[in-house]
Amino acid sequence: MSMIRWRRRQDLPSLFDRMNSVLNDMAISAPMHLSMLRESETGFGPPVEMYETEDEVVIRAELPGVTKADIEVHAEKNAVSIRGESKENKEVEEEGYYRREIRYGAFSRTLPTPVDIAPDAVSAKFSDGILTIRAKKAEEISTGAKVDIE
């Protein structure tokens, strides 16, 4: 029996090439998906809505059962981060639960803004379980800033 030398066809990409391509695609789109990665580290992030007006970016986050003291907002030139903790009420023992869907614990959400914002011109208000963040659009790029919540 004679042996025939096998050669990989050059027109077929190898598994390594395909995996490298997928990883490169992920790296390119990482800024848009960074908030999801950070969110998955802590377990969950609050649902939000974001819209843009003529002079500001407005973000509204749903935070039922959370107190103002348990929320932290931080603004950068191109993103706003919301962090906090939803504390569990320990009145009920584990036995007797029929359904348990309310999430407790630390949460985090970083939202890339559609335009650059001025971190020192960001305001936040918390009322009836809704956190409303108003960020003025930036004229010049500045550094990050912690935001006080009213």
Q: Which CATH number does the domain housing residue 122 bear? A: 2.60.40.790
Whether 52 is in a domain gets the answer yes
Per the structure, how many domains does the chain have? 1
Whether 53 is in a domain gets the answer yes
- Summarize pLDDT for 86-126 with one digit per residue, the tens: 887 666 666 676 776 777 788 889 999 999 999 999 999 99
The model scores a pTM over 0.95: no
Q: What percent of the chain has pLDDT over 90?
A: 42
- Residue 58, C-beta contacts closer than 8 angstroms, at least 6 positions apart: 50, 51, 52, 132, 133, 134, 135
Half-sphere exposure in the Cβ direction for 1 (13 Å, CA): 3
Domain that holds residue 72: 15-89+103-147
Choose the weakest-confidence range: 70-74, 126-130, 144-148.
144-148
Q: Is residue 40 scored above 50 in pLDDT?
A: no
Whether 1 is in a domain gets the answer no
In whole angstroms, what is the distance from residue 5 CA to residue 121 CA? 69
| Residue 141 confidence (pLDDT) | 55
Q: Is residue 57 scored above 90 in pLDDT?
A: yes
Q: Measure the CA angle with vertex 129, ends 123 and 135; round to 5°.
A: 20
